[in-house]
Amino acid sequence: MKTIVYFMLGLAGILMNISCSDDVDEQINNQEPMIVSLSTHMGTAKDIITVYGRSFSPVKSENTVKFNGLTAIVLEANAGELQVVLPEIDEGTFNIEITINNKTIVGPAFTFKKPTDNGWVVQTIVGQSGVPAMTDGIGTQATCKLPTSLSFAPDGSIWFSDRGNFAIRRISPDVNVTTIAGSPTSDSFFHPWQGNFDSKGNYFIADKGNHRVQKVTAVTHEVSTFATGFKNPMSLVFDDEDNMYVADRDNKAIKKITPDGQVTSFGIGITPNTLVFTPQGDLIIGGSANYTLIKLTLSSGDVTTIAGDGVKGTNYNDGEPGNPLTAKVGQIFGLSCDAAGNIYIADALYHVIQKFTPGENGDYAKGTIKTIAGTGVKGTENGKALSAKFNTPYAVLVTEDGKTIYVADTVPFLIRKLTYR
């Protein structure tokens, strides 16, 4: 009889324990989601981290993980852990947010570090750092003094203005540097700034110190004066009909000169340093003291600010993706555009090279600026682009496919090359 009693009491205890256990499990399952900790609090875009907590969904798609509004990829999920791939954020500290069943919870802060490898590599192809001279030769055997302009010639070579030597130089595809026109004692140029080619292969240069535009004739390389009446002209470009557009700096204007010599002036309200055409036929213009990029719509003459907050900063800042007005734009002397409409920027104040990708339908006002080379600190180091350094880059030139970029790194007297691996 005692045995039966003991058995019944034991059975009752087991049933009670099972019932209590079920209650505890139900209580745990019914708890509100919570983020307890992260496997690390610092990393770079595309790193994988683990989020620890409770009441996550075991279905990956039911957990939406975000940092600064950008969604991370959920690789693995269970009630207590989420394994995620960090989104594309360059720098900054942001709290993690997870949304489960329309309820959003906020967790610890995570710091995104600037990635050190973005696929671009920097090398020096012409010049010797700190050696201001004028020597023709192969690659770094050649020297120059304040290179300021870069332009593709019809034969695939690159012409550049050697401003400190009052000369125009040529870099062949095999990096042989020769002098086309001018010399330190010549009166053909005086601080020539930036130039470009027309459709016939003639080269024109903004001869800043002489307040004129000079022409270097194709084949013969004869130098002559093409136009005068400027006040520190800085740069020029051509449209498809060989109309020339000159950045007339101290007149705060862009001047259009037709092939038959007719002149039209567009007042733009800033002192322009450089300009480039977009695929839509508008001009993007950079200056020194406005800390913005502006767009000149030639069909209407309208001028709009498309990037920069107009305030001089202490360091570069790419701003928010899709909102280029939040970026810090410094002193812009070099712009170039690839076939896709991406604008490449040489910022002489912040010593960086940036890529300005337009938004939908080529809308630069909704574009994104991203630094692709430089640290913001002066230097001449080569290597991985985000660890490399520049010193007052004044010109940038990109190939149509956007895979190769040339930079006139003015103060150290170098021509640099960026290659995308």
91 and 146 belong to one structural domain: no
78 and 225 belong to one structural domain: no
Under 8 Å between Cβ of 379 and 396:
no
174 and 85 belong to one structural domain: no
215 and 97 belong to one structural domain: no
Q: Average pLDDT in the 177-194 region?
A: 97
* Closest of 99, 223, 105 to residue 161, by C-alpha: 223
Separation of alpha carbons 318 and 329, rounded Å: 8
Strand partners, 405: 398, 418
Q: Is residue 72 part of a domain?
A: yes
| Chain-centroid distance, C-alpha 277 | 17
Round the average pLDDT of the chain to a whole number and report it: 93
300 and 321 belong to one structural domain: yes
CA dihedral over 179, 155, 274, 335, signed as positive or negative = negative
Last residue of a domain, one of 112, 142, 171: 112
Strand partners, 215: 204, 224
pLDDT of residue 11: 45
141 and 54 belong to one structural domain: no
The answer, yes or no, to whether residue 8 has pLDDT greater than 60, is no
Look up residue 290 and give its two tokens: 């406005």
Supply the Cα-derived Rg of the chain in whole angstroms. 30
* Closest of 421, 420, 418 to residue 150, by C-alpha: 418
pLDDT of residue 20: 46
Q: Note the pLDDT tens digit of each residue in 362-396.
A: 999 999 999 999 999 999 999 999 999 999 999 99
68 and 146 belong to one structural domain: no
Q: How many domains does the chain have?
A: 2
CATH number at residue 103: 2.60.40.10
Domain enclosing residue 83, as ranges = 34-112
CATH number at residue 172: 2.120.10.30
Ramachandran region of residue 22, left (φ > 0), alpha (ψ -120 to 50) or beta? alpha
Last residue of a domain, one of 112, 138, 170: 112
Q: How many residues does the chain have?
A: 421
Sheet of 343-347: strands edge to edge? 332-337, 343-347, 352-357, 368-373
Separation of alpha carbons 258 and 220, rounded Å: 23
168 and 250 belong to one structural domain: yes
Under 8 Å between Cβ of 148 and 408:
yes
Q: What is the DSSP letter of 120?
A: E
Q: Note the pLDDT tens digit of each residue in 215-263.
A: 999 999 999 999 999 999 999 999 999 999 999 999 999 999 999 999 9
